[in-house]
A and B are shown apart, each in its own frame.
Chain A
Amino acid sequence: MKYRIVSGFETHVELATATKIFCGCSTKFGAMPNTHCCPVCTGQPGSLPVLNKRVVEFAIRAGLATHCTINTTTHLDRKNYCYPDLPKAYQISQFDKPLCENGYVELDSGKKIRLTRIHIEEDAGKLVHERGYTYIDYNRGGVALIEIVSEPDISSPEEAREYVEKLQLIMRYIGVSDCKMQEGSMRCDVNISLTPEGSDKLGTRTEIKNMNSVSFIEKAMAYEARRQAEILDGGGEVEQATLRYDENTGETYVMRTKEDAQDYRYFPEPDLPAIIIPQSKIDETAAHMPELPIDKYRRYTGVLGLSAQTAGLLYKYKAVCDFFEKCLSLGAGAKNTANLITGTIYSSLSTEEEKEEFNAGVSAEDMAKLVRYADEGKINVTLAQMTLSKMLKEGGCVDDYITEQDLAGVSDDELEALCRKAVEENPAAAADFRGGKQKAIGSFYGYIKRASGGKADIKRADAILRKILSE
Chain B
Amino acid sequence: MSGRIKTLSDMLKKGEISSAELTRRYISRIEKINPLLNAYVLKTFDEAIRGAEYADALIKQGKAGALTGIPFALKDNICTDGIETTCCSHMLEGFKPYYDATVWQKLKSVGAVLLGKTNMDEFAMGSSSETSYYGAPKNPVNLSKVTGGSSGGSAAAVKADIAAYSLGSDTGGSVRQPASFCGAVGFKPTYGAVSRYGLIAYASSLDQIGPLADSVEDAAIIYDAIRGQDRRDSTSCPTADGVTKLDGDVKGLKIGVPEEFFSEGVDEEVKKSIEAAICLYERAGAKIKKVKFPAMKVALSVYYILCCAEASSNLGRYDGIRYGFRAKDYGDIDEMIVKTRTLGFGKEVKRRIMLGTYVLSSGYYDAYYKKACLLRERITAEFDEIFKDCDVLLTPVAPTTAFDIGGRSASSVQAYLADVCTVPVNIARLPAISLPCAVTKEGLPVGLQIIGRRFDDGRVLSSAYFFEREACVKVPLCKEVQL
Query: A residues touching B (Cβ–Cβ < 8 Å)?
Result: 39, 42-51, 78, 80, 82, 84, 87-90, 134, 136, 263, 265-267, 270-273
Contacts and interface: CB of A to CB of B under 8 A. Distances in A.
Interface of B: 77-79, 85, 87, 92, 95, 97-99, 101, 196-201, 203-205, 231-235, 309-310, 312-313, 316-317, 319, 321-323, 333, 337, 357, 360-362, 365, 369
Between B85, B95, B317, the greatest number of chain A beta carbons within 10 A of the residue's beta carbon is seen for B317
**B interface, by DSSP: helix, strand, loop or mixed?**
loop
Contacts of A84: 319, 321, 333
Given A43-B317, A48-B196, A89-B319, A267 B309 contact: yes
Given A270-B205, A273-B234, A46 B313 contact: no
Contacts of A50: 231-234
27 contacts: A39-B97, A43-B317, A43-B322, A46-B79, A46-B85, A46-B97, A46-B197, A46-B200, A47-B198, A48-B196, A48-B233, A48-B234, A48-B235, A49-B234, A50-B234, A51-B234, A80-B312, A89-B313, A136-B321, A263-B361, A265-B357, A265-B361, A265-B362, A267-B365, A267-B369, A270-B203, A270-B205
A45 B197 contact: no
A68 to B, nearest CB: 25
A46 B199 contact: yes
A271 B202 CA distance: 12
B369 A45 contact: no
Contacts of A272: 234-235
Nearest to B237: A273
B337 A82 contact: yes
A287 to B, nearest CB: 29
A42 B317 CA distance: 10
B322 A87 contact: yes
Contacts, number: 99
Contact of A39 (B99, B201, B319, B369): B99
B98 A44 contact: yes
Contact of A44 (B99, B309, B313): B99
Contact of A267 (B97, B99, B319, B360): B360
Contact of A46 (B201, B231, B310, B362): B201
B322 A42 contact: yes
B318 to A, nearest CB: 8
A190 B15 CA distance: 74
A266 B309 CA distance: 10
A83 to B, nearest CB: 9
Contacts of A39: 97-99
Contacts of A270: 203-205, 235, 310
Given A84-B333, A87-B317, A272-B235, 11 more contacts: A45-B317, A46-B198, A48-B196, A48-B197, A48-B233, A50-B233, A82-B319, A82-B337, A267-B360, A270-B205, A273-B234
A82 B316 contact: yes
B234 A45 contact: no
Contact of B97 (A43, A45, A49, A89): A45
Between B78, B313, B337, the greatest number of chain A beta carbons within 10 A of the residue's beta carbon is seen for B313
B335 to A, nearest CB: 13
Between A45, A47, A273, the greatest number of chain B beta carbons within 10 A of the residue's beta carbon is seen for A45
B313 A90 contact: yes
Contact of A45 (B200, B205, B235, B310): B200
B6 to A, nearest CB: 31
A134 B334 CA distance: 13
Given A134-B333, A273-B234, A44 B321 contact: no
Contacts of B87: 45
